[in-house]
């Protein structure tokens, strides 16, 4: 007689306990909560329904999926890449390692870009370094009638952004341009035509990057993070290059890192052509957004 070896099936409850212990032991902060999210993701059940599934036996395939997700998280892969999504301004964005994971402080950019165009009827907005597309797409969803352009130098990022735009029904509302900062605008004869240039550029300094947590340093695209020795290389280039494209009175709205406001101020003075900068603090009190208005 042939003895059949049955794989040992585990319950949802047992897997959650194991997942939680693995993440907490590995020092993942918020490990208990993340374990639940990852198990829910593998089981395709909604948040907070896990309790009612606790005694359910899990198939070997799903168990392997849970084990692999937990192993990847123990190796510090960001939760959002494992789940495949991140929320931004109340909208869900797909994310992959080709794009930076949207951060809550970036929502400030949206507020200030909208504040500027609200008074205008036909305006044009460019999102430079669109990444996942979170900024350009949120603007397209919230604003009607404005022309919106999204630029990125990474074709892989543009693909992710267009998937997101399709998900939110605005793919055709946005012009997608591949290239370095504002260079794709040259061919579009956009000189003096843009009302708002908005950007969350890479702004981590080389030395700060080396000390980042592994989730960011190892897994998020370095290209989207590092902005030269001081982290302000792209702010300087954007200040320089935007003047040609902004209408008089148009604004350049950029995100920046803690402590960079004085450097950006100096850069703007050296570059010239802008009114006194407006600096806006985020919820943590960090000077996070700079608004430079082109002189009339």
The residues binding ligand GLN (CB under 6 A) are: 100, 102, 106, 129-132, 134-135, 200-202, 224
* H or E element that contains 250: strand 246-255
Residue 133 labelled as part of a binding site: yes
Residue 285 labelled as part of a binding site: no
Please, which residue, 115 or 156, has the CB nearer to ligand GLN?
156
CB of 180 to ligand GLN, least distance (A): 13
CB of 287 to ligand GLN, least distance (A): 17
Residue 55 labelled as part of a binding site: no
Rounded distance between C-alpha atoms, residue 205 and residue 190, angstroms: 31
User: Which whole-number Å values give the CA distances from 174 to 164, 168, 235, in the listed order?
Assistant: 12, 12, 24
Tokens of 103: 């951060």
Query: In terms of Cα–Cα distance, which of 261, 271, 264 is closest to 241?
Result: 271
Residue 274 labelled as part of a binding site: no
The residue nearest ligand GLN at its CB is 131
Residue 106 labelled as part of a binding site: no
Please, which residue, 130 or 146, has the CB nearer to ligand GLN?
130
- Write the CB contacts of 241 (distance below 8 Å, at least 6 apart in sequence): 181, 182
DSSP symbols for 57-88: EEPHHHHHHHHHHHHHHHTT--HHHHHTEEEE
CB of 225 to ligand GLN, least distance (A): 7
Please, which residue, 103 or 270, has the CB nearer to ligand GLN?
103
CB of 196 to ligand GLN, least distance (A): 14
Tokens of 160: 């992710």
Please, which residue, 19 or 254, has the CB nearer to ligand GLN?
254
Rounded distance between C-alpha atoms, residue 88 and residue 78, angstroms: 16
CB of 202 to ligand GLN, least distance (A): 5
Residue 262 labelled as part of a binding site: no
Rounded distance between C-alpha atoms, residue 177 and residue 155, angstroms: 9
Please, which residue, 12 or 125, has the CB nearer to ligand GLN?
125
Which amino acids are annotated as binding site for substrate, given as ranges?
200-203
């Amino acid at each position: 007689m042939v003895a059949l070896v049955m794989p040992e099936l585990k319950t949802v409850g047992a897997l959650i306990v194991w997942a939680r212990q693995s993440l907490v032991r590995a020092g993942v902060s918020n490990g208990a909560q993340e374990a639940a999210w990852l198990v829910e993701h593998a089981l395709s059940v909604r948040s907070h329904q896990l309790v009612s599934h606790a005694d359910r036996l899990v198939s070997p395939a799903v168990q392997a999926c849970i084990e692999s997700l937990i192993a990847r998280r123990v190796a510090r892969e960001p939760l959002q890449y494992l789940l495949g999504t991140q929320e931004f301004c109340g909208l869900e964005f797909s994310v992959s390692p080709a794009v930076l994971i949207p951060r809550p402080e970036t929502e400030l950019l949206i507020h200030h870009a909208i504040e500027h165009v609200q008074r205008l009827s036909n305006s044009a907005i460019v999102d430079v370094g669109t990444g996942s597309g979170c900024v350009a797409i949120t603007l397209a969803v919230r604003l009607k009638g404005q022309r919106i352009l999204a630029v990125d130098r990474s074709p892989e990022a543009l693909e992710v952004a267009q998937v997101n735009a399709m998900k939110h029904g605005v793919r055709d509302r946005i012009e997608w341009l591949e290239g370095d900062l504002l260079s794709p605008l040259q061919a579009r004869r956009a000189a003096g035509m843009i009302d708002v240039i908005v950007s969350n550029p890479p702004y981590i300094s080389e030395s700060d990057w080396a000390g980042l947590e592994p989730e960011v340093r190892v897994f998020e695209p370095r290209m989207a993070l590092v902005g030269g020795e001081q982290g302000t290389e792209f702010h300087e280039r954007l200040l320089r290059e935007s003047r040609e494209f902004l209408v008089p009175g148009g604004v350049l709205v950029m995100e920046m890192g803690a402590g960079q406001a004085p450097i950006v101020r100096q850069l703007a003075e050296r570059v010239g052509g802008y009114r006194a900068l407006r600096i806006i603090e985020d919820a943590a009190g960090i000077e996070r957004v700079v608004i430079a208005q082109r002189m009339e």
